[in-house]
Amino acid sequence: MSLALLPVLLFWGTVTGVDLVSFPQGLLSRPLVAASVAGAILGDPLSGLRVGVILELFAMDVLPIGASRYPDYGPAAVVAAAFAVGGSGAHVLGPAALLGVLLAILGGRSVEGLRRLNGDLVRKAEPALAMGDRGMVSRLFWMGMTADAARSLSLTAFGLALVVVLQWGIEVPSELGHYLGLVAIGGGILGGMNGVLRRSGGARLVGVGLLLGTIVAWIA
């Protein structure tokens, strides 16, 4: 990974983290998008796309409804793509996906911390809000945005620092890498299917969709 591109990756990781909740919620935080763009930044969009597909399968099992707890896959996908691009050979795909999943879980914890911080800020501002202070509403908005940007930037920076250390100090054995790749792909498929079943209303509809998709693919 080129150190000269670190600022660009940090910026992109921050954007994907903020996109999850704060702004603009344009699906930039989806692993498929975040990892593919990160790969393109590093000159290898195909490696970014590959690891993005695996992480997208895991993310399909997430239902971000209300105050539910869920991983933050945006910055994690950027970091995973950086690890996959910097490695040599397809055997780094599994370790990259594993790093992405672990970092996404850590990112989910940071989202919980951000929610608590925002709650504390609102409680402290209750007297001003009760008096109709519109300036306080604006300040709360910008404080929340700034805190989320700082969270996303810190998460991306931590992950990229791990990538630099791992790439410089540890070489993944090819056999271990291939094994982790199979585990990551298998786990991703199971997670993705679970998410599809929960959203579709039952296995029967999924089966019909797979059958129709197979027929279309065969005809094409």
pLDDT tens profile 55-112: 988 888 776 666 677 889 999 999 999 998 866 555 678 888 888 999 999 999 999 8
pTM attached to this predicted model: 0.79
Q: Which H or E run includes 132?
A: none
**Cis amide leading into 24 (omega within 30):** yes
Exposed, middle or buried by CB within 10 Å (0-12, 13-18, 19+), for 142?
exposed
**Per-residue pLDDT tens over the stretch 24-34:** 888 899 999 99
CA dist list (Å): 193 to 25, 47, 121, 159, 180: 24, 23, 39, 28, 20
Residue 55's nearest CA partner among 2, 11, 103 is 103
pLDDT band at 199 (very low <50, low <70, confident <90, very high): low
